[in-house]
């Protein structure tokens, strides 16, 4: 018998033997997609449900935002469907319930009439959860005319799933007109990165080519000091034209936190989003703000669920992800439902951008924390705080 190398075990999953959990059987990962009852019977566990022991977890997307490269900072922990411990696959309905998104859905809002643009790694449109979903796609990394996800992990596909997926877990804004710009891609280290000039071009396309009402940016990085920042410039152009921009605060919390949210989330008119867990506590890796600025622009402005949230992955898989990227999309979904209800908010300047931020603060409370912002997203309260006349003086 030849020796087994560690690399030979990559990609396999282990199931404990009945009655002796210390003895593990290696199985084909494709079996993970079968029903739990089937697997229990085959492995001898019936009528109990078999629970897998994961071989490994994969971490992605460590970030820095320099002059040349813009790295995704928001999908830090991603577990692929075939490594999921929970069988059958779980769901994250709590994330939609805790934020009031389902309450707005029950009022009949799904984002219809709102043009929402996602700048990310793209979308794997072959996922069954996207069947029948129309998407306006533009590939800024290559020249593909067909939708695809260029990420080391399907980061963009996960983000889009939170918006428009249908089936195992429904997205929060299934009626939006969806634009997806593939501006980031995986590198040899398994990270999702992109050139900042390409990302800036993608943001400009969202504004002028796609005619977006709202841009969701589950990406970011370090601010450039004393240098021209093309991404910041493109975001400012969008804001000036009345386009709403929601961006991730970043994932450098804890001991490595530099006390500043990522770029472009630091811009005053951008809504910067931090992450919370299922209990509502702020995720330890969610980036802090520096406490400077004026209301309602203190960073981050809001938090939303972003820990162990299920969404669509590549192929027909479902992934679980943690990061402020997830939180960003949930806030974008809430804003899309508000814009559907109040189309008067879509104007050609930034007065409604400013007003929506005041309304967000009002819906959460006047106090601010550099870690928790003004509070965790309450989509219904935000909706009720909005004045569709968009007063200029607040």
* Domain shared by 283 and 188, yes or no: yes
Domain end position, chosen among 11, 38, 56 = 56
- The answer to whether 303 and 273 are in contact (CB under 8 A) is yes
* Domain shared by 69 and 48, yes or no: no
* Domain shared by 41 and 109, yes or no: no
* Domain shared by 254 and 134, yes or no: yes
Domain assignment of residue 94, given as a range:
60-385
* Domain shared by 35 and 69, yes or no: no
* Domain shared by 141 and 160, yes or no: yes
- The answer to whether 36 and 84 are in contact (CB under 8 A) is no
Site of tokens 């450098």: 252
DSSP, collapsed to helix, strand or coil, labels residue 88 as coil
Rg (CA), the chain: 21
Domain end position, chosen among 30, 56, 82 = 56
Domain count within the chain = 2
- The answer to whether 300 and 289 are in contact (CB under 8 A) is yes
* Domain shared by 112 and 163, yes or no: yes
- The answer to whether 183 and 242 are in contact (CB under 8 A) is no
Residue 120: give its domain's CATH number: 3.40.50.200
Distance (Å) of CA 279 to CA 62, 98, 264, 320, 371:
25, 9, 28, 17, 16
* Domain shared by 303 and 339, yes or no: yes
- 236 falls within a domain: yes
- 392 falls within a domain: no
pLDDT at 188: 84
Which DSSP string corresponds to 171-198?
A: -S-TTSEEEEEE--EE-TTS-EEEEHHH
Query: How far is the C-alpha of 356 from the C-alpha of 383, rounded, in Å?
Result: 9
* Domain shared by 91 and 4, yes or no: no
* Domain shared by 298 and 351, yes or no: yes
Dihedral (CA of 193, 196, 197, 201) sign: positive
pTM of the predicted protein model:
0.80
- 305 falls within a domain: yes
- 183 falls within a domain: yes
Over the range 283-297, which residues count as b (16 or more CB within 10 Å of their CB) and which as e?
bebbbbbeeeeeebb
- The answer to whether 370 and 291 are in contact (CB under 8 A) is yes
Distance (Å) of CA 384 to CA 5, 100, 183:
60, 12, 35
Site of tokens 């589950």: 218
pLDDT at 326: 98
Query: How far is the C-alpha of 127 from the C-alpha of 315, rounded, in Å?
Result: 5
pLDDT at 48: 42
**pLDDT averages per 10-residue partition of the chain, 394 residues:** 49 46 44 41 40 41 33 40 47 96 97 98 97 97 96 96 96 98 92 92 98 97 82 98 98 89 96 98 96 94 97 93 97 98 96 96 94 98 96 61
Contacts of 167 (CB under 8 A, 6+ apart): 128, 129
- 394 falls within a domain: no
Query: How far is the C-alpha of 185 from the C-alpha of 196, rounded, in Å?
Result: 12
> Within its chain, how far is the Cα of 214 from the centroid?
15
- 158 falls within a domain: yes
- The answer to whether 320 and 309 are in contact (CB under 8 A) is yes
Domain end position, chosen among 16, 38, 56 = 56
- 32 falls within a domain: yes
Which DSSP string corresponds to 339-383?
A: HHH-GGG--SSSHHHHHHHHHHHHHH-S--BTTTBT-B--HHHHH
- 391 falls within a domain: no
pLDDT at 193: 87
* Domain shared by 242 and 374, yes or no: yes
* Domain shared by 42 and 99, yes or no: no
């Amino acid at each position: 018998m030849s020796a087994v190398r560690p690399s030979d075990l990559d990609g396999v999953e282990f199931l404990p033997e009945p009655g002796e959990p210390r003895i593990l059987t290696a199985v084909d990962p494709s079996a993970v997609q079968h029903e739990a009852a089937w697997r229990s019977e085959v492995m001898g566990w019936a009528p109990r449900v078999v629970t897998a022991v994961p071989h490994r977890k994969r971490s992605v997307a460590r970030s820095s935002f320099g002059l040349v490269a813009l790295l995704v900072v928001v999908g830090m922990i991603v577990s692929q469907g075939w490594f999921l411990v929970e069988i059958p696959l779980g769901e994250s309905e709590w994330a939609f319930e805790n934020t009031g998104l389902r309450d707005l859905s029950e009022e009949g809002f799904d984002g219809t009439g709102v043009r929402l643009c996602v700048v990310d790694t793209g979308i794997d449109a072959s996922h069954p959860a996207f069947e029948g979903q129309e998407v306006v796609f533009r590939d800024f990394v290559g020249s593909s005319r067909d939708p695809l996800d260029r990420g080391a992990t399907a980061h963009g596909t996960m983000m889009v799933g939170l918006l428009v997926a249908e089936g195992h877990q429904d997205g929060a804004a299934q009626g939006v007109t969806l634009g997806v710009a593939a501006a980031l891609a995986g590198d040899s280290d398994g990270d999702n990165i992109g050139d900042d000039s390409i990302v800036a071009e993608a943001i400009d396309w969202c504004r002028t080519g796609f005619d977006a009402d709202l841009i969701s940016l589950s990406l970011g990085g370090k601010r450039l000091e004393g240098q021209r920042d093309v991404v910041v410039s493109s975001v400012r152009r969008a804001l000036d034209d009345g386009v709403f921009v929601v961006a991730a605060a970043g994932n450098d919390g804890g001991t490595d936190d530099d006390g500043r949210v990522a770029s472009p989330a630091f811009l005053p008119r951008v809504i910067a989003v931090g992450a919370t867990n299922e209990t509502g506590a702020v995720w330890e890796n969610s980036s802090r703000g520096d406490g400077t600025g004026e209301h309602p622009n203190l960073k981050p402005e809001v938090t939303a669920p972003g820990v162990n949230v299920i969404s669509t992955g590549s192929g027909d898989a479902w992934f679980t992800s943690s990061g402020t990227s997830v939180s960003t999309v949930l806030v974008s979904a809430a804003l899309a439902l508000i814009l559907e209800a109040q189309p008067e908010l879509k104007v050609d300047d930034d007065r409604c951008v400013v007003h929506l931020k005041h309304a967000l603060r009002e819906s959460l409370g006047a106090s601010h924390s550099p870690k928790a912002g003004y509070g965790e997203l309450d989509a219904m309260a935000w909706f009720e705080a909005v004045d569709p006349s968009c007063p200029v003086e607040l």
